[in-house]
């Protein structure tokens, strides 16, 4: 009797333990879902749904002047391309994005090379150059607009140095203003590119550099023959993010020139914003759809090319 009761007690004691272990195992299997579901919900309602609606409303007559929303086919696309404004802004957006990618990565690479050594001064300089990255893009644009306007800080400084009244319209040239605004955009984000290039430089094996130095290579040869090719992954990330990110730019251009002078810096998002403000909602969504297609058409071959170059280099 004693043996039987003991066995029964052991079995009854094992059942709760087994259930607890099964429950713990189930929680371990399912706990990532609890964290993923909120992110999926946010992504669904704030990205996928607006994107799908953007595709839908681009083919309608939705506006502030129409009581109903009716399907009108390709009329919005036809009107926008026939006006010539959309084509001009697409070209301006692409040129602006290429210039930003050049400036941002050139500035970032130069900073990474000069600040590569881990000295106290270099670490302080890295922090200082990274500050514009965390600043508001609108704030950066308004600061540079105050510096570069005709009666701004730069002309005042030049007047003080030269002893003459300098009145240069830095943001008044239809040709060079786009280049200057792109340089401001590159300046704002060069700290991020600097960090990515620094991370790439830190992954290079010091023994390789030491061997090249022993073989008689100077610093310039070491950089261009060894360091620069091994920075291919960093270039892939920096070029792709700079080019694609600047295609969606708005803040800096709006704060510095608002698309002027004469529409020479009117990138597509400025045009979308103005059109939406006029109540032409379907046309603005059409332009957003065109921008989406443009970014996709640039992103896929660009990333493929950079990945292929990266594989060949490494």
**Three-class SS of residue 278?**
coil
pLDDT given for residue 6 in this prediction: 46
CB 80 within 8 A of CB 280: no
Stretch 149-157: mean pLDDT:
90
The residue written with tokens 């700290």 in the block is: 191
pLDDT band at 109; cut points 50, 70, 90: very high
Structure tokens at 150: 């005709």
Residue 190: what pLDDT?
A: 95
Residue 5 has pLDDT above 60, yes or no: no
267-300 pLDDT per residue, tens:
999 999 998 898 989 989 999 888 888 888 988 8
Q: 86-104 pLDDT, tens per residue?
A: 889 989 999 999 999 999 9
Question: At 163, is the secondary structure helix, strand, or coil?
Answer: coil
- Mean pLDDT, residues 215-219 taken together: 86
Does the pTM surpass 0.85? The reply is no
In the chain, DSSP finds a helix count (H) and a strand count (E) of 15, 0
State whether residue 68 is helix, strand or coil.
coil
pLDDT number for residue 9: 47
Sign of CA pseudo-dihedral 135, 137, 140, 142:
negative
Which residue matches tokens 């620094």? 198
CB atoms within 10 A of CB 145: 19
Q: Cβ(232)–Cβ(313) under 8 Å?
A: yes
- Rounded CA Rg of the chain: 28
How confident is the model over 138-161, as a mean pLDDT?
Answer: 92
């Amino acid at each position: 009797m004693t043996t039987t009761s003991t066995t029964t007690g052991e079995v009854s004691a094992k059942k709760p333990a087994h259930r607890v272990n099964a429950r713990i195992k189930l929680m371990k299997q399912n706990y990532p879902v609890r964290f993923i579901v909120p992110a999926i919900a946010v992504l669904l309602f704030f990205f996928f749904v607006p994107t799908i609606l953007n595709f839908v409303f681009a083919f309608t007559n939705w506006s502030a002047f129409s009581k109903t929303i009716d399907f009108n086919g390709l009329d919005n696309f036809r009107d926008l391309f026939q006006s010539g404004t959309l084509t001009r802004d697409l070209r301006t957006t692409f040129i602006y994005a290429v210039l930003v990618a050049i400036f941002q990565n050139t500035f970032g690479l130069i900073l990474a090379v000069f600040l590569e050594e881990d000295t106290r001064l270099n670490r302080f300089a890295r922090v200082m150059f990274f500050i514009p990255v965390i600043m508001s893009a609108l704030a950066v644009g308004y600061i540079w607009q105050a510096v570069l306007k005709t009666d701004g800080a730069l002309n005042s400084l030049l007047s003080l140095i030269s002893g003459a009244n300098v009145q240069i319209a830095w943001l008044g040239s239809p040709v060079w203003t786009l280049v200057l605004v792109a340089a401001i955009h590159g300046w704002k984000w060069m700290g991020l590119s600097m960090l990515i290039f620094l991370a790439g430089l830190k992954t290079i094996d010091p023994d390789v550099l030491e061997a090249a130095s022993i073989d008689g290579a100077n610093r310039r040869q070491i950089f261009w023959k060894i360091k620069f090719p091994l920075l291919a992954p960093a270039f892939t990330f920096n070029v792709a993010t700079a080019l694609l990110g600047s295609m969606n730019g708005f803040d800096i251009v709006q704060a510095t020139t608002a698309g002027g002078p004469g529409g020479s810096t009117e990138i597509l998002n400025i045009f979308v914003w103005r059109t939406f403000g006029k109540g032409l909602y379907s046309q603005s969504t059409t332009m957003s759809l065109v921008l989406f297609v443009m970014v996709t058409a640039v992103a896929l071959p660009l990333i493929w090319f950079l990945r292929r170059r990266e594989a060949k280099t490494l």
